[in-house]
Every structure is written in C-alpha cells, then in structure tokens.
Amino acid sequence: MKLSVIIVSWNVREELTGCLRSLRDNRPRDEFEVIVVDNASTDGTAEAIKKSFADFRLIANSENRGFAAANNQGIKESGGEYVLLLNPDTIVRPKSLDILINFMDEHKGAGVCSPKLLNEDGTTQPSARRFPTFRAALHRHTIFRSIGIFRKQYRRWLMKDFSHDEQTDVDQLMGACLLVRRSVLEEVGLLDEDFFMYYEEVDLCFRIKRAEYRVVFVPEATIVHLGGRSAAQVLVRKRIAAMTSLLKFFRKHYGGFSTGLFACLFKPAVVLKDIKTIAASSIVYVFSAVVSNSRRREKCSKEIKNSIQLLSKYSWLSLFKV
C-alpha cells in the first residue's frame, strides 16, 4: 500500500465529515487507506463515521489521549509506505495527494513534506517556520510583546518574509497536513506522546532534520485548513497547552539547565501579561459601557474572564513545570 491517512478528531463531526468527503472525491491514484482515531468525542462523531464512512477505519477511544498518542495509534495500525497526518478540519483539493506522493518518490532524501495551506477564502495560511528560540517565545507569550522586545526574533521564527510560492527546505511545517516517509518514522521514532497537544510536529521535524533528512514545503499541492476548530472549544486550556508544550520542546532539545533559567523569566512575564490584559480591558470595558458599544464590551469581558481564569486556576509558581 502506498499511503495511509491518519486523522485524529475531537468533537468536530461536521468538519471531519467534510474532510472525509474530500478524501473520497480527491483520492490518490495509488492504493490508500484512511484511519480515523476519535478521542472520545461527545458530538456523535463515531456514529457518523460508522454510518456514512464504513469504508474508512475507525478507532474510537474511550478517553482523550491527546493528539500525539492518537496519531501513533493510527500509525501503528497502518501499512502505507507514506503516512499522511491530516487534521479533521481540512479539505483535500484535487491532485494534492498525488503531488505530495510524487515529490517523496522523486526525492529520497526528503523525510517529510507538506502542501501550501489555504484559508477558507483561498488566501495563503502561513505554515512554515524556523525552530522556536527563547527570545522569540518571550515576545509571543509574555509582557515583552507589549513593549516590542524581541520582535525581530519573533518575526524570524514565524518566517514573516517567507514566500509561499516556492518549493523550499524549512525547519518545521504545520502539523495540519504532513506526509512522512514510514522508513524515517521507524528510524527517528513516532510522535512524542509527552506532547499532549502542540509542538509534537515541531519535535518530529527537529528529529527528522537531526537525522539529516529534508523537511520540504511543496506549494504545488494545496489543502484548505479551516483551523483550530477543536482547540477553539477550550481557549484557556489551549494557551496553557501551547506554552507547556513549548517548554517541553525547549527542555528536550535545548537542555534542562538553560530551559530552567528561561522559565524563571518566562513564567512571571506570562503572569504580568495577563495582569496588564485585565487592567487595560477593564478600562476599555467601562468606556464601552459609557458609549454603549456592546460589541467592544463583550470582547473586553471575554479577555478579562480568560485572564482571570488562567491566573486563578494556575499559579505562576506551578505553571508550566520544567
């Protein structure tokens, strides 16, 4: 078998069924299989798959095992020469899978490749980055962003100057759609299950590059990525998971001592960011109430609620253990 498509889902039934329909309509020319691993969804996902997609395989977990662990379940049950890790909120476009497979067939030194991701309106969704750095992380997640410190390093991490129209070797690719050579997975290992959500694909790309395989952006293939539908259900947990996984990545690849020193600055700087958000949003909330701007008032209310929730539920002393 040429291709195994692994899709992990959690409470995104409508998006998943759209993804599976697109796979049926735009199937690759070679033999392939689709394995859906559902992480204990409560929206009827498993029933919908059994009813409408009986030709695809379903693994229904009794608990949410996380993105990495669920993908590994599917990989272990699959048999394709290539493994496509595909998010459920994606739409496969015509010939895209064949383009990716052809690229891997013709470039034996490539360990993983990914298509150009498109937003729902057809615009390009940035999906290639350099590996994260301590300074870039401070700008992204903490009070440092408000005062513009380390902006250059942050832009470098996100490859703000990157052209999404040229085939290019990069550090990391977004995990929404990754085509990985099975032999490379057998060499470097599967996804690291210590990453419950986020940075598991960054860690995988890091290990693939360290093994001297190429990580390649292939814009000739395109996939629509609706983006973040599962994570949007748990916004505060999403923030915590992203920062926790980032520190795990730093500890694993940049060393425990360096990451420990970094965390001494990172943790209080995160808290300061949320304190600032509460203060600033409270002022704007009061002003919005005076001028009867209900939309702005509602936005400020959500910002205040999320920041208070983070600060009250997770003290900075225990947050993001390193």
- pTM of the entire structure? 0.91
Tell me, what's the pLDDT at 311?
82
Structure tokens at 204: 């995988």
Q: Which residues does the chain have with pLDDT short of 50? A: 230-233, 316-317, 320
Written as one letter, the residue type at 256 is G
Phi, psi of 215 (to 5 degrees): -115, 115
pLDDT tens-place string over residues 126-164:
999 999 999 999 999 999 999 999 999 999 999 998 989
Rounded-to-integer distance, Cα 221 and Cα 103, Å = 10
Cβ 198 vs Cβ 172: under 8 Å: no
